[in-house]
């Protein structure tokens, strides 16, 4: 299976394969990718300083997140992974909402109830995560099937890592999607490791994309560090799904430059030479060179964008840290549509006890 690549690691590109994007769209994609990179760096620092409890970084996977989210419309549904803050940003979720979620403060839409990096934003059709690996695949297929029955003109995209393809739920979701031809895109971010298990130990097949053939639909292999290739492949899959053409499995070949999470030490299971090799394929560096070759970015403009992104992050963090924790009473809200008597009694009892302290 041939891998789709438009921009090479050195920034050279195939003009015949370039997608039809406006100059301002390309600049926006670069800024969003840069924001994700700086967000990862800052949040990991906050975790090390004890200012947030837990973090899962996605350094090196920025092209996957931005390139896959942009082709979607606001009415489409996304079952994103915990390594996909960029998908949230690309769909319009404010940066502060991401920081609030990690700080579990009163402005967090989830009221601090979700584990850190388990994004979920109802206003942007970003479905809250569940921690078990691969479970959101069948959820996305179910939503897509419901949309088909209701004749809603929407598609669903679910993102997951290569490790999820070793779970039974991956195969169940793929089989159902193929049989019922539902409008869903399976977006696999193959970052080479399921925590410490390399992808070569997970499957004997040529790649992950080829697995779609067994379920009767198309599999696409794409350079996951090339944001234009990711965009082009996802746009084609979205258009096909929306027009009734059924599902697509996209395998975006990328690399996790950091650890699995803030609790992981990747030096225990991978060699430094491998890491250095993948650094030469950095998605942001190659897209920066591409934009400069196209005359869409200068060194001065790049420094300005980087300064603006940094300032926005620092300002947002300061704002979020000023927000208090969720009120204790919030534990009783949003549990039922209408609060039942026994929950009301517990809430009233807590209120009385706190007033006596």
pLDDT of 125 reads 97
User: Where do the CATH 3.40.50.970 domains begin and end in the chain?
Assistant: 23-326
Residue 21, pLDDT above cutoff 90 = yes
DSSP state of 5: -
Residue 333, pLDDT above cutoff 90 = no
Least trusted range by pLDDT, from 240-244, 266-270, 325-329: 325-329
Is pTM beyond 0.85 here?
Answer: yes
d(CA 302, CA 31): 9
DSSP state of 217: S
CATH number for the domain formed by residue range(s) 23-326: 3.40.50.970
Report the relative pairing of strands 197-198 and 193-194 from DSSP bridges.
antiparallel
Mean pLDDT within 266-276: 96
The model's pLDDT over 233-263, given as tens digits with 9 standing for 90+, comes to: 999 999 999 999 999 999 999 999 999 999 9
How confident is residue 130, by pLDDT bands cut at 50, 70 and 90? confident
How crowded is residue 242: how many other Cβ atoms within 10 Å of its Cβ? Answer: 14
The one catalytic residue in 91, 118, 136, 260 is: 260
* Residue 15, φ and ψ in degrees, nearest 5: -65, -25
pLDDT of 356 reads 86
The model's pLDDT over 4-14, given as tens digits with 9 standing for 90+, comes to: 999 999 999 99
Give the percent of the chain with pLDDT over 70: 100
269 in catalytic set = yes
Mean pLDDT within 262-290: 97
pLDDT of 355 reads 87
* DSSP conformation letters of 10-57: TS-B-TTT-----HHHHHHHHHHHHHHHHHHHHHHHHHHTTSSS----
The one catalytic residue in 136, 256, 286, 288 is: 256
How confident is residue 43, by pLDDT bands cut at 50, 70 and 90? very high
Residue 217, pLDDT above cutoff 90 = yes
How confident is residue 357, by pLDDT bands cut at 50, 70 and 90? confident
Residue with tokens 């994103």: 80
pLDDT of 145 reads 98
How confident is residue 286, by pLDDT bands cut at 50, 70 and 90? very high
260 in catalytic set = yes
**CA distances, 215 to each of 54, 171, 180, 287, 319 (Å):** 37, 9, 11, 34, 48
255 in catalytic set = no
Residue 49, pLDDT above cutoff 90 = yes
Residue 180, pLDDT above cutoff 90 = yes
The one catalytic residue in 48, 74, 201, 269 is: 269
Mean pLDDT of the chain: 96
């Amino acid at each position: 299976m041939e891998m789709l690549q438009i921009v090479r690691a050195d920034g050279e590109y195939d003009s015949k394969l370039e997608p039809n994007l406006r100059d301002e769209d390309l600049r926006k994609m670069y800024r969003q990718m840069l924001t994700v990179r700086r967000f990862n760096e800052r949040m990991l620092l906050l975790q090390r300083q004890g200012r947030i409890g837990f973090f899962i970084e996605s350094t090196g996977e920025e092209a996957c997140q931005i390139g896959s989210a942009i082709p979607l419309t606001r009415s489409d549904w996304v079952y994103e992974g915990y390594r996909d803050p960029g998908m949230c940003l690309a769909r319009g979720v404010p940066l502060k909402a991401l920081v609030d979620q990690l700080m579990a403060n009163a402005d967090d839409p989830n009221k601090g109830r979700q584990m850190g990096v388990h994004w979920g934003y109802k206003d942007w059709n970003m479905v809250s995560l569940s921690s078990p690996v691969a479970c959101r695949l069948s959820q996305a297929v179910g939503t897509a099937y419901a949309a088909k029955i209701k004749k809603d003109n929407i598609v669903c995209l679910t993102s997951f890592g290569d490790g999820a393809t070793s779970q039974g739920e991956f195969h169940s979701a793929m089989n159902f999607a193929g049989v019922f031809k539902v409008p869903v895109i399976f977006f696999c971010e193959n970052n080479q490791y399921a925590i410490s298990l390399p992808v070569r130990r997970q499957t004997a097949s040529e790649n992950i994309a080829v697995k779609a053939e067994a379920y009767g639909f198309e599999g696409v292999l794409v350079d996951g560090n090339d944001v234009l290739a990711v965009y082009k492949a996802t746009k084609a899959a979205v258009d096909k799904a929306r027009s009734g053409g059924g599902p697509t499995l996209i395998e975006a070949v990328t690399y996790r430059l950091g650890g699995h999470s803030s609790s992981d030490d990747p030096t225990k299971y991978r060699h430094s030479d491998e890491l250095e090799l993948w650094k030469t394929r950095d998605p942001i560096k190659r897209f920066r060179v591409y934009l400069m070759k196209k005359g869409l970015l200068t060194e001065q403009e790049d420094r300005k964008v980087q300064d603006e992104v940094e300032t926005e992050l620092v300002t947002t963090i300061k704002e979020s840290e000023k927000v208090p924790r969720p009120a204790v009473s919030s534990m009783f809200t949003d549990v039922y549509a209408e609060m039942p008597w026994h929950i009301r009694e517990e809430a009233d009892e807590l209120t009385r006890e706190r007033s006596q302290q």
